[in-house]
Structure 1
Amino acid sequence: MNPLPPIEDEYHDVLGKAMRGLDMNTSELADAAGMTTVECEALLSGDFSEEGTRSIAPVLGLNPNCLVNLARGAAEPETTLPEGVKLHNAPFPVPGYAAMTVNSYSIHPPGDPASVALIDAGSGFESLSNANHCAASSAWKLFLTHTHPDHVVHYDQLAQKTANNYAPAAEPYEAALPVREGDHFELGSWHLTAIETPGHSPGGTSYLLEGASQPVVFAGDALFCGSIGKVNSGYKSALDLIREKILGLPDNTIVCPGHGPPTTVAFEKERNPFFA
């Protein structure tokens, strides 16, 4: 079993995402938290102070205990993907973040060689085909959660080999078929349902897998373990959608994000500073 990727965001990343989502600058945040601008800047740069963190968290609508635990390296969830669901993690270095990686996933119901789905195209065909060697790629389906470059880097390579390719209707991509809220796709005895979760991107779409030993939601960059993806539009609305559509699923639902390790609905409801 390959090691899982590390948690995507550190505690100061969470602070920054919340601050940007609320459209606050450092001076405004410092004033609201009753601290100096220098103290606030130190927190935002990763210089942890429990007292400062507990002062700033309520201003940003974050859970202070969860933030402190994140800063102290709280334990990650012990999540095992169901048989037939595999994570494919690939490097995608960007300026200022050379260690960045991106997740794609393959779904292959055991005993059903004709039913394979791929979630996102951050990994190349070789990685995905090695995991699903018993299925002819001409029967595969490729689903995009959104169309940011790190999630479509191998799209052309994969799209040439897959039977049908799908992208959010609000983010048309090449010849991919449009996906909308509630669209349903059969994968043998398993099935996927599209859930629109915009915010990180205009058409951000999660996919709920049912039929495996546990339900799984492929959340793209809507929700991370202990954090969220950067919200580029409609911050409060995006949080509400995550809370309703992802964290409203059964507690044992596994959350497979676009970056970082898989987690569960129960873990995020208890440990994620944005939602706990």
Structure 2
Amino acid sequence: MARIPLEDNFNDVINKAQRGWKISDADLAARADVSLEDLAAVKAGQPNDAVIRRIARPLKLSPSALETLAHKRWYPQLPDFPKGFAMFNTAYEDMTVNSYLIWDTRAKLAAAFDTGATCEAMLDLVRAEGLTLRYIFLTHTHEDHIADLAKLAGETKAEVWASELEPAPFAGAKTFKENAHFHVASLAVKTLFTFGHSPGMTTYFVTGLSWPIAFVGDSVFASSMGGSPTHFADQYRNDREKIFTLPRDTVLACGHGPLTTLSQEKQQNPFFAQ
């Protein structure tokens, strides 16, 4: 698979944080002691280290991580899954979206996380590996993540599951409460409610593969996080309390952008780096 670009540039992170915390340009410029002209230039994507570092703290961002992102000095080191895991990156309108498949290699039982714009490649792998798709877990129900749900569920007869806070718009879909537990043969799946970006955003924490892995949807991205004009504080709190407290070697399988790891995000994500 080709190298997947980061979901957000440094100015996307700045704008996302500013909208989320509801800080006006005038207020941010005053707090950071920068001119409105310099602030506007940075928000338009022109790197200026002095301005970037000054505006970071009022936005609750790491100055160093934000500067690193601005100069494109970091890209996550990708973890290796020799078996039982696959990532699919599909084009949806002017962006790409991720979906995932995990399976027990002995029992040949599998679970999908979202469908992406198309599930064709996922279905091809299911057939090639002789898998039985038992579950389709939805991180949330935004259209880009469930665009091919009817086809994937229809062809595999898998159970569709989503948060009770954001039921799937699909006949026969089931809902779970937080901390629900599922098993896919030897693989264990636990649900964590990480809402904010959407009402029922769910992270699925999975153990039994080569690494612990969290399917986080649009809760967190490599070097960024999911935005919300109305519930950004909820997303930020849930990310901190429920994702960033997972084991440090946890892989983060994000809804957009590349795979990353919790240990890397604790150093490189402007929203969460210390």
- The aligned residue for residue 222 of structure 2 is 225
Letter of the structure 2 residue corresponding to residue 102 of structure 1: V
Name the SS of the counterpart of 1:166 in structure 2.
strand
Is residue 2:111 matched to residue 1:112? no
Q: CA RMSD in A?
A: 1.4
- The aligned residue for residue 98 of structure 2 is 103
- The aligned residue for residue 24 of structure 1 is 23
Name the SS of the counterpart of 1:195 in structure 2.
strand
CA 1:92–1:125 in 2, change beyond 3 Å: closer, same or farther?
Answer: closer
Displacement of 1:159 in angstroms is: 1.8
Identify which range, 128-137 or 164-173, moves more after superposition: 128-137
Q: Is the 8 A contact 2:139 2:201 kept in 1?
A: yes
- Name which of 255, 262, 269 aligns with 1:265: 262
TM-score by length of 1: 0.93
Name the SS of the counterpart of 1:54 in structure 2.
helix
- The aligned residue for residue 216 of structure 1 is 213
- The aligned residue for residue 141 of structure 2 is 147
- The aligned residue for residue 10 of structure 1 is 9
Q: Is the 8 A contact 1:201 1:233 kept in 2?
A: no
Displacement of 1:125 in angstroms is: 3.1
Q: Is the 8 A contact 2:123 2:152 kept in 1?
A: no
Q: Is the 8 A contact 2:92 2:117 kept in 1?
A: no
How many residues align? The count is 268
TM-score by length of 2: 0.94
Letter of the structure 2 residue corresponding to residue 170 of structure 1: L
- The aligned residue for residue 247 of structure 1 is 244
Displacement of 1:81 in angstroms is: 4.2
Percentage of pairs with the same residue: 35
1:149-206 C-alpha deviation (Å, 9 max, x unpaired): 1101111111212320011111112232112211111101111111100010011001
Displacement of 1:123 in angstroms is: 4.3
Letter of the structure 1 residue corresponding to residue 10 of structure 2: Y
Is residue 2:65 matched to residue 1:70? no
Q: Give distance in 2, aligned partners of 1:89 and 1:4.
A: 10
Q: Give distance in 1, aligned partners of 2:117 and 2:76.
A: 24
- The aligned residue for residue 42 of structure 1 is 41
Letter of the structure 2 residue corresponding to residue 242 of structure 1: D
- The aligned residue for residue 86 of structure 2 is 86
- Name which of 95, 116, 124 aligns with 1:122: 116
Name the SS of the counterpart of 2:99 in structure 1.
strand
Q: Is the 8 A contact 1:116 1:135 kept in 2?
A: no
Displacement of 1:136 in angstroms is: 5.0
Letter of the structure 2 residue corresponding to residue 190 of structure 1: L
Letter of the structure 2 residue corresponding to residue 153 of structure 1: A
Q: Give distance in 1, aligned partners of 2:229 and 2:184.
A: 33
Identify which range, 225-234 or 37-46, moves more after superposition: 225-234
Identify which range, 160-169 or 197-206, moves more after superposition: 160-169
Q: Give distance in 2, aligned partners of 1:39 and 1:128.
A: 46
